Chains A and B, each alone.
Chain A
Amino acid sequence: MLMKKLLPYFTLCFALLLSSFIARPAADGYKVGDKATDFKLKNIDGKMVSLADNKAAKGYIVVFTCNTCPFAKAYESRIIDLNTKYAPKGYPVVAINPNDPAVAPGDSYADMQKKKYAFPYLVDESQQVAKTYGATRTPHLYVLTRQGNDFVVSYIGAIDDNSEDASLVKTKYVENALTEILAGKPATTNSTKAIGCTIKWKRA
Protein backbone atom coordinates (compact mmCIF):
# COMPACT_ATOMS: atom_id res chain seq x y z
CA MET A 1 0.00 0.00 0.00
CA LEU A 2 2.73 2.43 1.07
CA MET A 3 4.83 1.32 -1.88
CA LYS A 4 1.95 2.05 -4.19
CA LYS A 5 1.55 5.53 -2.75
CA LEU A 6 5.23 6.29 -3.02
CA LEU A 7 5.66 4.85 -6.47
CA PRO A 8 4.90 8.11 -8.31
CA TYR A 9 7.55 9.84 -6.21
CA PHE A 10 10.13 7.20 -6.97
CA THR A 11 9.29 7.47 -10.64
CA LEU A 12 9.64 11.25 -10.47
CA CYS A 13 12.97 11.05 -8.66
CA PHE A 14 14.24 8.55 -11.17
CA ALA A 15 13.07 10.71 -14.08
CA LEU A 16 14.77 13.76 -12.56
CA LEU A 17 17.96 11.84 -12.00
CA LEU A 18 17.90 10.55 -15.56
CA SER A 19 17.16 13.96 -17.04
CA SER A 20 20.10 15.48 -15.19
CA PHE A 21 22.32 13.09 -17.10
CA ILE A 22 20.67 13.59 -20.46
CA ALA A 23 20.22 17.35 -20.40
CA ARG A 24 23.73 18.27 -19.40
CA PRO A 25 26.64 18.19 -21.84
CA ALA A 26 29.82 16.38 -21.00
CA ALA A 27 31.86 18.60 -18.72
CA ASP A 28 35.11 17.68 -20.39
CA GLY A 29 35.71 17.30 -24.06
CA TYR A 30 38.87 17.52 -26.09
CA LYS A 31 42.04 19.10 -24.80
CA VAL A 32 44.85 20.29 -27.04
CA GLY A 33 46.84 17.23 -28.11
CA ASP A 34 43.82 14.91 -28.16
CA LYS A 35 42.99 12.88 -31.24
CA ALA A 36 39.68 14.06 -32.71
CA THR A 37 37.32 11.31 -33.82
CA ASP A 38 35.87 11.74 -37.29
CA PHE A 39 32.16 12.37 -37.78
CA LYS A 40 29.60 12.03 -40.52
CA LEU A 41 27.18 14.94 -40.53
CA LYS A 42 24.67 16.28 -43.04
CA ASN A 43 25.62 19.42 -44.90
CA ILE A 44 23.06 22.03 -45.96
CA ASP A 45 23.31 20.64 -49.52
CA GLY A 46 22.04 17.28 -48.25
CA LYS A 47 25.38 15.48 -48.61
CA MET A 48 27.16 13.81 -45.73
CA VAL A 49 30.54 15.25 -44.73
CA SER A 50 33.44 13.65 -42.87
CA LEU A 51 36.90 14.94 -42.03
CA ALA A 52 38.35 12.03 -44.01
CA ASP A 53 36.62 13.17 -47.25
CA ASN A 54 39.09 15.93 -48.04
CA LYS A 55 42.35 14.10 -48.68
CA ALA A 56 44.21 17.35 -49.43
CA ALA A 57 43.38 18.96 -46.08
CA LYS A 58 46.37 19.42 -43.78
CA GLY A 59 43.86 20.13 -41.08
CA TYR A 60 40.59 21.87 -40.37
CA ILE A 61 39.17 24.86 -38.61
CA VAL A 62 36.11 23.29 -37.00
CA VAL A 63 33.74 25.89 -35.63
CA PHE A 64 30.56 25.23 -33.68
CA THR A 65 28.32 28.10 -34.63
CA CYS A 66 24.70 28.87 -35.44
CA ASN A 67 22.27 31.27 -37.07
CA THR A 68 20.80 32.80 -33.94
CA CYS A 69 23.46 33.70 -31.36
CA PRO A 70 24.44 37.40 -31.51
CA PHE A 71 28.08 36.41 -31.05
CA ALA A 72 27.91 33.88 -33.87
CA LYS A 73 26.40 36.60 -36.04
CA ALA A 74 29.10 39.07 -35.01
CA TYR A 75 31.75 36.52 -36.01
CA GLU A 76 30.09 35.22 -39.18
CA SER A 77 32.08 37.38 -41.59
CA ARG A 78 35.29 36.67 -39.67
CA ILE A 79 34.64 32.92 -40.00
CA ILE A 80 34.15 33.39 -43.76
CA ASP A 81 37.44 35.33 -43.86
CA LEU A 82 39.23 32.51 -42.02
CA ASN A 83 38.14 30.07 -44.71
CA THR A 84 39.18 32.44 -47.50
CA LYS A 85 42.60 32.84 -45.94
CA TYR A 86 43.32 29.35 -44.65
CA ALA A 87 41.53 26.97 -47.06
CA PRO A 88 44.22 27.66 -49.71
CA LYS A 89 46.84 26.90 -47.04
CA GLY A 90 45.24 23.52 -46.35
CA TYR A 91 43.05 24.45 -43.37
CA PRO A 92 39.46 24.89 -44.58
CA VAL A 93 36.61 25.81 -42.25
CA VAL A 94 33.98 23.23 -41.30
CA ALA A 95 31.04 24.86 -39.52
CA ILE A 96 28.77 22.74 -37.32
CA ASN A 97 25.44 23.87 -35.90
CA PRO A 98 24.73 21.94 -32.69
CA ASN A 99 21.61 23.82 -31.56
CA ASP A 100 18.31 22.05 -31.07
CA PRO A 101 15.87 23.92 -33.36
CA ALA A 102 13.08 23.11 -30.91
CA VAL A 103 14.85 25.43 -28.45
CA ALA A 104 16.32 27.87 -30.99
CA PRO A 105 13.75 28.03 -33.83
CA GLY A 106 16.04 30.08 -36.09
CA ASP A 107 18.48 27.15 -36.23
CA SER A 108 16.32 24.73 -38.21
CA TYR A 109 17.81 22.90 -41.17
CA ALA A 110 15.72 25.10 -43.50
CA ASP A 111 17.10 28.24 -41.83
CA MET A 112 20.64 26.90 -42.08
CA GLN A 113 20.10 26.35 -45.82
CA LYS A 114 19.63 30.11 -46.28
CA LYS A 115 23.36 30.48 -45.64
CA LYS A 116 25.60 30.34 -48.70
CA TYR A 117 29.03 29.53 -47.38
CA ALA A 118 32.00 28.32 -49.41
CA PHE A 119 32.55 25.71 -46.67
CA PRO A 120 30.31 22.98 -45.21
CA TYR A 121 27.67 24.02 -42.70
CA LEU A 122 26.71 20.80 -40.96
CA VAL A 123 23.84 19.92 -38.69
CA ASP A 124 24.76 18.03 -35.52
CA GLU A 125 21.29 16.68 -34.99
CA SER A 126 22.13 14.28 -32.16
CA GLN A 127 24.45 16.91 -30.63
CA GLN A 128 26.91 14.07 -30.17
CA VAL A 129 29.77 15.77 -32.02
CA ALA A 130 29.48 18.92 -29.91
CA LYS A 131 29.44 16.76 -26.78
CA THR A 132 32.45 14.73 -27.90
CA TYR A 133 34.41 17.89 -28.66
CA GLY A 134 33.32 19.49 -25.40
CA ALA A 135 31.86 22.50 -27.16
CA THR A 136 29.82 24.62 -24.78
CA ARG A 137 28.97 27.74 -26.72
CA THR A 138 28.64 29.30 -30.14
CA PRO A 139 31.00 30.23 -31.60
CA HIS A 140 33.51 27.68 -30.25
CA LEU A 141 36.45 26.95 -32.47
CA TYR A 142 38.86 24.01 -32.81
CA VAL A 143 41.90 23.78 -35.07
CA LEU A 144 42.71 20.21 -36.07
CA THR A 145 46.00 19.17 -37.61
CA ARG A 146 46.46 16.04 -39.69
CA GLN A 147 48.90 13.45 -38.39
CA GLY A 148 48.80 10.55 -40.80
CA ASN A 149 45.19 9.46 -40.90
CA ASP A 150 44.38 11.15 -37.61
CA PHE A 151 43.41 14.69 -36.74
CA VAL A 152 44.90 16.13 -33.59
CA VAL A 153 43.44 19.11 -31.71
CA SER A 154 45.97 21.96 -31.94
CA TYR A 155 43.96 24.94 -30.75
CA ILE A 156 40.69 25.48 -28.87
CA GLY A 157 38.87 28.69 -28.21
CA ALA A 158 38.27 32.18 -29.47
CA ILE A 159 38.75 33.79 -32.86
CA ASP A 160 40.11 37.07 -31.52
CA ASP A 161 39.92 39.41 -28.55
CA ASN A 162 37.05 41.69 -29.56
CA SER A 163 33.71 40.24 -30.55
CA GLU A 164 31.93 43.56 -30.85
CA ASP A 165 34.19 45.33 -33.29
CA ALA A 166 36.62 43.60 -35.66
CA SER A 167 38.41 46.90 -36.23
CA LEU A 168 39.35 47.07 -32.53
CA VAL A 169 40.91 43.60 -32.46
CA LYS A 170 44.43 43.61 -31.01
CA THR A 171 45.11 39.87 -30.85
CA LYS A 172 43.90 37.46 -33.52
CA TYR A 173 44.17 34.34 -31.36
CA VAL A 174 43.33 31.71 -33.96
CA GLU A 175 45.40 33.34 -36.72
CA ASN A 176 48.42 33.55 -34.41
CA ALA A 177 47.97 29.87 -33.61
CA LEU A 178 47.60 28.96 -37.28
CA THR A 179 50.75 30.89 -38.22
CA GLU A 180 52.72 28.70 -35.82
CA ILE A 181 50.89 25.51 -36.75
CA LEU A 182 51.54 26.14 -40.47
CA ALA A 183 55.21 26.59 -39.63
CA GLY A 184 55.15 23.13 -38.04
CA LYS A 185 55.33 24.45 -34.48
CA PRO A 186 52.83 24.01 -31.66
CA ALA A 187 50.74 27.11 -30.94
CA THR A 188 52.15 29.18 -28.08
CA THR A 189 48.65 30.18 -27.00
CA ASN A 190 46.64 27.05 -27.71
CA SER A 191 43.60 27.63 -25.51
CA THR A 192 41.58 30.80 -25.20
CA LYS A 193 38.18 31.78 -23.90
CA ALA A 194 35.33 33.71 -25.38
CA ILE A 195 31.90 34.80 -24.31
CA GLY A 196 29.21 33.07 -26.27
CA CYS A 197 25.71 31.64 -26.22
CA THR A 198 25.25 28.29 -24.53
CA ILE A 199 24.61 25.52 -27.01
CA LYS A 200 20.87 24.91 -27.03
CA TRP A 201 20.85 21.30 -25.79
CA LYS A 202 17.84 19.12 -26.37
CA ARG A 203 15.42 19.11 -23.48
CA ALA A 204 14.98 15.70 -21.99
Chain B
Amino acid sequence: MKILRLTAFSVGIFLSAPALAQHVAVVKFPELQKRLARPTDTTYVVNFWATWCAPCVKELPGFEQLRAANSSKKVKVLLVSMDYASQLDKKVKPFVKQRGLKSEVLLLNEPDPNTWMDKLDAKWSGALPFTLIVNNKSQQRVTFEQELSPAELTAALQKFPK
Protein backbone atom coordinates (compact mmCIF):
# COMPACT_ATOMS: atom_id res chain seq x y z
CA MET B 1 0.00 0.00 0.00
CA LYS B 2 2.76 2.33 1.00
CA ILE B 3 4.70 1.50 -2.14
CA LEU B 4 1.63 2.12 -4.25
CA ARG B 5 1.11 5.52 -2.70
CA LEU B 6 4.76 6.35 -3.20
CA THR B 7 4.54 5.29 -6.84
CA ALA B 8 1.46 7.40 -7.36
CA PHE B 9 3.27 10.31 -5.76
CA SER B 10 6.33 9.87 -8.02
CA VAL B 11 4.17 9.62 -11.13
CA GLY B 12 2.37 12.78 -10.01
CA ILE B 13 5.66 14.62 -9.70
CA PHE B 14 6.79 13.29 -13.03
CA LEU B 15 3.61 14.44 -14.77
CA SER B 16 3.57 17.87 -13.21
CA ALA B 17 7.26 18.54 -13.85
CA PRO B 18 6.81 19.98 -17.36
CA ALA B 19 4.21 22.39 -16.01
CA LEU B 20 6.58 23.59 -13.30
CA ALA B 21 9.45 24.29 -15.65
CA GLN B 22 8.40 27.45 -17.50
CA HIS B 23 8.63 26.93 -21.21
CA VAL B 24 9.83 29.69 -23.53
CA ALA B 25 8.45 29.26 -27.04
CA VAL B 26 10.42 30.81 -29.88
CA VAL B 27 8.03 32.40 -32.37
CA LYS B 28 8.13 34.39 -35.59
CA PHE B 29 6.00 37.50 -35.97
CA PRO B 30 3.11 36.02 -38.05
CA GLU B 31 2.45 33.57 -35.23
CA LEU B 32 2.30 36.33 -32.62
CA GLN B 33 0.20 38.50 -34.92
CA LYS B 34 -2.30 35.70 -35.50
CA ARG B 35 -2.58 35.11 -31.80
CA LEU B 36 -3.24 38.78 -31.06
CA ALA B 37 -5.77 39.05 -33.88
CA ARG B 38 -8.13 36.35 -32.60
CA PRO B 39 -11.68 37.64 -32.02
CA THR B 40 -11.65 36.81 -28.33
CA ASP B 41 -13.03 38.69 -25.33
CA THR B 42 -9.79 38.07 -23.42
CA THR B 43 -7.72 41.18 -22.77
CA TYR B 44 -4.09 40.62 -23.76
CA VAL B 45 -1.39 42.47 -21.88
CA VAL B 46 1.68 42.08 -24.06
CA ASN B 47 5.00 43.30 -22.72
CA PHE B 48 8.04 43.44 -24.99
CA TRP B 49 11.19 43.15 -22.89
CA ALA B 50 14.70 41.74 -22.83
CA THR B 51 17.00 40.34 -20.18
CA TRP B 52 19.56 43.06 -21.03
CA CYS B 53 17.04 45.90 -20.65
CA ALA B 54 17.26 47.30 -17.11
CA PRO B 55 13.91 49.18 -17.02
CA CYS B 56 12.22 46.06 -18.46
CA VAL B 57 13.62 43.83 -15.76
CA LYS B 58 12.55 46.39 -13.17
CA GLU B 59 8.93 46.46 -14.31
CA LEU B 60 8.50 42.69 -14.82
CA PRO B 61 7.25 42.06 -11.24
CA GLY B 62 4.40 44.48 -11.99
CA PHE B 63 3.25 42.24 -14.84
CA GLU B 64 3.52 39.18 -12.63
CA GLN B 65 1.40 40.91 -9.98
CA LEU B 66 -1.13 41.92 -12.61
CA ARG B 67 -1.38 38.31 -13.82
CA ALA B 68 -1.86 37.01 -10.29
CA ALA B 69 -4.44 39.67 -9.42
CA ASN B 70 -6.47 38.90 -12.56
CA SER B 71 -6.02 35.13 -12.71
CA SER B 72 -9.78 34.51 -12.43
CA LYS B 73 -10.57 37.08 -15.11
CA LYS B 74 -10.23 37.09 -18.85
CA VAL B 75 -6.82 38.68 -18.77
CA LYS B 76 -3.77 37.12 -20.38
CA VAL B 77 -0.26 38.41 -19.73
CA LEU B 78 2.26 37.65 -22.46
CA LEU B 79 5.92 38.49 -21.91
CA VAL B 80 7.61 38.71 -25.31
CA SER B 81 11.38 38.60 -25.01
CA MET B 82 13.33 40.49 -27.65
CA ASP B 83 16.56 38.78 -26.69
CA TYR B 84 18.44 37.17 -29.57
CA ALA B 85 17.31 33.60 -30.21
CA SER B 86 20.94 32.58 -29.69
CA GLN B 87 20.56 33.65 -26.06
CA LEU B 88 17.52 31.43 -25.37
CA ASP B 89 19.35 28.77 -23.37
CA LYS B 90 22.18 30.98 -22.14
CA LYS B 91 20.19 33.97 -20.87
CA VAL B 92 16.42 33.83 -21.30
CA LYS B 93 15.56 30.41 -19.85
CA PRO B 94 17.85 30.80 -16.81
CA PHE B 95 16.38 34.29 -16.22
CA VAL B 96 12.79 33.04 -16.40
CA LYS B 97 13.65 30.20 -14.02
CA GLN B 98 15.59 32.35 -11.59
CA ARG B 99 12.83 34.96 -11.39
CA GLY B 100 10.18 32.26 -11.23
CA LEU B 101 8.09 33.99 -13.91
CA LYS B 102 4.61 32.51 -14.07
CA SER B 103 3.30 34.51 -17.04
CA GLU B 104 3.69 32.97 -20.47
CA VAL B 105 7.04 33.91 -21.99
CA LEU B 106 7.73 33.96 -25.72
CA LEU B 107 10.90 34.85 -27.58
CA LEU B 108 10.23 36.77 -30.78
CA ASN B 109 12.90 35.66 -33.22
CA GLU B 110 12.90 38.50 -35.75
CA PRO B 111 16.30 40.20 -36.26
CA ASP B 112 14.97 43.10 -38.37
CA PRO B 113 12.20 45.20 -36.75
CA ASN B 114 11.47 46.78 -40.14
CA THR B 115 9.84 43.57 -41.28
CA TRP B 116 7.23 43.48 -38.50
CA MET B 117 7.19 46.41 -36.08
CA ASP B 118 4.86 48.63 -38.13
CA LYS B 119 2.38 45.76 -38.38
CA LEU B 120 2.30 45.51 -34.60
CA ASP B 121 2.20 49.24 -33.92
CA ALA B 122 3.22 52.06 -36.25
CA LYS B 123 3.94 54.38 -33.32
CA TRP B 124 6.53 52.10 -31.67
CA SER B 125 10.00 53.42 -32.45
CA GLY B 126 11.74 50.32 -31.12
CA ALA B 127 12.69 51.34 -27.60
CA LEU B 128 12.19 48.76 -24.88
CA PRO B 129 10.15 48.23 -22.81
CA PHE B 130 6.99 48.44 -24.91
CA THR B 131 3.56 47.36 -23.70
CA LEU B 132 0.41 46.72 -25.68
CA ILE B 133 -2.98 46.10 -24.07
CA VAL B 134 -5.59 44.90 -26.51
CA ASN B 135 -9.11 43.50 -26.43
CA ASN B 136 -10.40 42.57 -29.86
CA LYS B 137 -14.00 42.08 -28.83
CA SER B 138 -14.34 45.51 -27.22
CA GLN B 139 -11.98 46.93 -29.88
CA GLN B 140 -9.79 48.63 -27.30
CA ARG B 141 -6.09 49.09 -27.68
CA VAL B 142 -3.45 51.13 -25.82
CA THR B 143 0.32 51.15 -26.13
CA PHE B 144 3.13 52.45 -23.94
CA GLU B 145 6.71 52.96 -25.12
CA GLN B 146 7.96 53.42 -21.58
CA GLU B 147 8.42 51.70 -18.25
CA LEU B 148 5.16 51.29 -16.31
CA SER B 149 4.77 51.23 -12.55
CA PRO B 150 2.39 48.60 -11.10
CA ALA B 151 -0.08 51.43 -10.43
CA GLU B 152 0.11 52.72 -14.01
CA LEU B 153 -0.35 49.18 -15.31
CA THR B 154 -3.37 48.52 -13.13
CA ALA B 155 -4.88 51.86 -14.12
CA ALA B 156 -4.38 51.08 -17.80
CA LEU B 157 -6.06 47.68 -17.47
CA GLN B 158 -8.92 49.21 -15.47
CA LYS B 159 -10.36 50.68 -18.70
CA PHE B 160 -10.70 47.21 -20.25
CA PRO B 161 -13.55 44.73 -19.75
CA LYS B 162 -12.87 41.83 -17.40
Residues of chain A having any CB pair with chain B under 8 Å: 24, 70, 104, 136-137, 140, 158, 161-164, 168, 170-171, 173, 192-199
CA distance A168 to B111 in the complex (A): 10
A194 touches B129 (CB 8 A): no
A193 touches B118 (CB 8 A): yes
B124 touches A193 (CB 8 A): yes
The answer to the question of B53 belonging to the interface, with a C-beta cut-off of 8 Å to chain A, is yes
Q: Which residues in A have their C-beta under 8 angstroms from that of B52? A: 70
Max chain A CB contacts within 10 Å: which of B50, B52, B127?
B127
Provide the B110-121 mask, 1 if CB < 8 A to any CB of A, else 0. Answer: 011110011000
A137 touches B53 (CB 8 A): no
The answer to the question of B140 belonging to the interface, with a C-beta cut-off of 8 Å to chain A, is no
- Inter-chain CB contacts under 8 Å: number: 60
Q: Which residues in B have their C-beta under 8 angstroms from that of A199? A: 127
* Apart from A193-B117, A197-B127: 4 A-B pairs, beta carbons within 8 A: A164-B86, A193-B114, A198-B53, A198-B127
CA distance A172 to B118 in the complex (A): 19
What 10 A-B pairs are tightest by C-beta distance, nearest first? A137-B127, A161-B112, A198-B127, A70-B52, A193-B113, A136-B125, A136-B127, A193-B126, A164-B84, A193-B117
How would you classify the secondary structure of chain A's contact residues: helix, strand, loop or mixed? Answer: loop
A137 touches B112 (CB 8 A): no
User: B interface, how many residues as a size bin?
Assistant: 20 to 34
The answer to the question of B66 belonging to the interface, with a C-beta cut-off of 8 Å to chain A, is no
CB distance from B71 to the nearest CB of A (A): 29
CB distance from A63 to the nearest CB of B (A): 14
CB distance from B139 to the nearest CB of A (A): 23
CA distance A163 to B52 in the complex (A): 14
A195 touches B82 (CB 8 A): yes
With known contacts A24-B146, A70-B52, A164-B84, A196–B128 Cβ distance under 8 A: yes
The answer to the question of B55 belonging to the interface, with a C-beta cut-off of 8 Å to chain A, is yes
Pick from A104, A171, A193: contact of B125, CB below 8 A: A193
A198 touches B55 (CB 8 A): yes
A161 touches B111 (CB 8 A): yes
B86 touches A161 (CB 8 A): no
CA distance A23 to B143 in the complex (A): 17
Provide the B34-73 mask, 1 if CB < 8 A to any CB of A, else 0. Answer: 0000000000000000101111000000000000000000
Pick from A24, A193, A197: contact of B128, CB below 8 A: A197
The answer to the question of B104 belonging to the interface, with a C-beta cut-off of 8 Å to chain A, is no
